[in-house]
Every structure is written in structure tokens, then in C-alpha cells.
Amino acid sequence: MNWDEIILGNSIKAYIGFVSVLVIGFVFSGLFARFFSWLSYKLFKRLSKGKFFDEFHRLLHKPFHQLVQLCILYAAFNQLSFPEEWNIVSVKEFGLRWFLHAVFLIALILVWMRLFKRGVDFIAYIYTHSEESALSPDLVVFIKSLAQIIIYILGFFVILAKAFEVNITAVITSLGIGGLAIALAAQDTLANLIGSFIIYIDKPFNVGDIVELGEVKGVVEKIGFRTTRIRTLEKSLLHVPNKKIVDSNLNNISQSSQRRVRFNLSLNYKSKPEEIMQIIVEIKKAIQHEAPFTGKEMTVRFVEFDASSLNILVIYFVNTIEFDLMVEVKERINLRIMEIVKQFNCEFAYPTQMVIMQN
């Protein structure tokens, strides 16, 4: 057989080389990918202290496998050339060569982007699973998301520059007034992004904390770039802009050791002074009886002559941040107060008016 015989612009020897590279490459591509995984792990070995190789391999094996396959395809097709009679223009001009070259570069850049993204995922995994990590899991998730966004943006510009040969410097320069208009339009988004940085640095709350922000009260589920998600006590999901959180007074209930209970006990005007004083004493005993769920600090005082009632101010503290337990303790004390008021032959007041008619 004449190995130099030309078929469609390529020798038989070139076709054999093409097939050989494809077969050998794809047979051993998994082995090559594992070798590159092991070699790349050395870059993270000091950070991971020699741990988590299985997780590293799980994250990066597939992207490395794809990278190896792309290289094999490039090496295989490099053995062949287009027949001259096809009159295909060079890769510098728009045509089939340019299209195939652009597709290959886009695929290559996307694989590298995926590699970097998985590398960031592995670094985040190290910090969230390492016992010596000084970073909170919420901050790690935030930094990971920010790094991935940067990878996507850089990858987009690299694709424009390499695959489509766009002058990035000229594009950025030409934005000019348009870029300023976009910046002005996005100032709220930028303010919310800065707010998210302040939240992570200042740490007024963490995911899972119960917070009170104005009329909103609930559990923090996620701190995002623009908004913070709060699951309210009504189980609805509320998205609060980070800028509003930073600019508002926020009460982190989870960071307090107690929850305050405050209300007015209204008795009618038929109540006698000695009965009111006895009721006050018994209410204090009822609150103390719930110890250790209730604190020693309390206020039970006759404070006000209202339009239709005599008001006793009741303030005490429940030693828990759990809403259900606080309500349970409050319920027992309220029921005991009802018994006390009945015990001393007093009645609760309700809005009334007396009309005096004269002849």
C-alpha cells in the first residue's frame, strides 16, 4: 500500500495519524485527567493540609477530562488539512476555518472557566469544612459567589478578545457617557452590593438568626448580593434590600439572652386600693414561680388612671430566644393573672361611658 497516496487532500499516513491520536487519546483520557488532577492538587495541598483530595478529584476530574479531550481533538485534526480544491479561505478571514477556530477557542475558554470555578468551589469547601477556619460559612459563600461572578465576567471578555478578536480596550473606552449612564442607573444595585459587604464585615446577624427590622420580624435565610431573604413568622419569604438593612435600626433577637413581655392590666373603677396591691403582689409571685424561665428583674406597678380603667403595668423577661417557649410561659402567667383577678373579686375593664341625664 502506498502510504503517501492522497485522498481528499491528505495522505493515508495522515489519516492513520488522525485515527491513532483519537483512539489513543480517548482511551487514556481518563488517566490523563486523573494525573492532571493529582498534579493540580499540589497547588492546594498546603491550604488543605493534605486533606479533601477525594472532593478535589470529584470537582475537577470532569473539567480536566473535557480539557484533555479538547486537546486530543485539536491534536488529531491537526494531522489533516482541507483539500486545496475546496478553496477555503484562511483562518484570518470569515469562513469555515474561522468558524471552527472560534468554536474551538470558545470551548477551550469555557472549560478553563469551569476549572477556575471548581477551584473556587474547592477553596470554599476547605474553609467551610476545616476546623481551624477563621471565616464564617456565610462569608465563605458570599466570597465564592463574588469570585464566580468575576470569573464569568473575565471569561466573557476573554472570549470576545480571543475568539472574536474584539479590541477590549477600545470597547471599554467607547462606553464613555453610556457607561456613566449605566453606572447612574445601577447606583441602587451598587449601594445594595456595598451594603452586603458591610453586613459580612460588621456581622450584625448571621443566617439562621431571628431579627426584627421595623415591622418585619423573622429568620434570616440567605444574605445575597442585593437583598437579604427573611422568612417571616407568617412563613412568607421577604426580600429586604441590603441598603435598607444597613440604614435601619435592626434588632437581632437571637443575640439577646432574654425576651421582654410588656402589657397593661386594666381593672375597672370598682377595684379597691387594697385589692389592687394584693393583685400586684400575687402577679409578682406568679412571675417568680415560672423561674428559671423568667428573670428576677420585673416591674408590676399601678401606674395610670385611664378613661375607663385603672392600669397596672406588667413587665418581665423570659430567659429564652425561642418564640414558642416564650409564648408558653406567657400563657401560663396570663392564666394565673386571670385567676388572681377573680380571686380578689375584681373585674377587667373594658371601654365604657356613663351618661348622666338631668331633668
**Residue ranges with strand state E in 233-286:** 237-241, 250-252, 259-267
**Cα(80)–Cα(100) distance, rounded to whole angstroms?**
14
More confident residue, 245 or 191: 245
Q: What is the pLDDT of residue 171?
A: 66
Cα separation values, 149 from 111, 117, 191, Å: 16, 9, 18
Please state whether the peptide bond connecting residue 292 to the residue before it is cis, i.e. omega within 30 degrees of 0: yes
Q: What is the pLDDT of residue 2?
A: 59
Whose cell is 410561659? That residue is 329
**Cα(356)–Cα(279) distance, rounded to whole angstroms?**
32
Whose cell is 435565610? That residue is 221
**Cα(263)–Cα(39) distance, rounded to whole angstroms?**
68
pLDDT tens per residue across span 101-133: 888 899 999 999 999 999 999 988 888 887 776
Q: CB 89: neighbour CB atoms within 10 A?
A: 11
Helix (H), strand (E) at residue 278: helix 273-289
Assess whether pLDDT exceeds 80 at residue 332.
Answer: yes
pLDDT tens per residue across span 136-170: 777 787 788 888 888 998 999 889 888 888 777 77
The answer for residues whose C-beta is within 8 angstroms of residue 187's C-beta and 6 or more apart is none
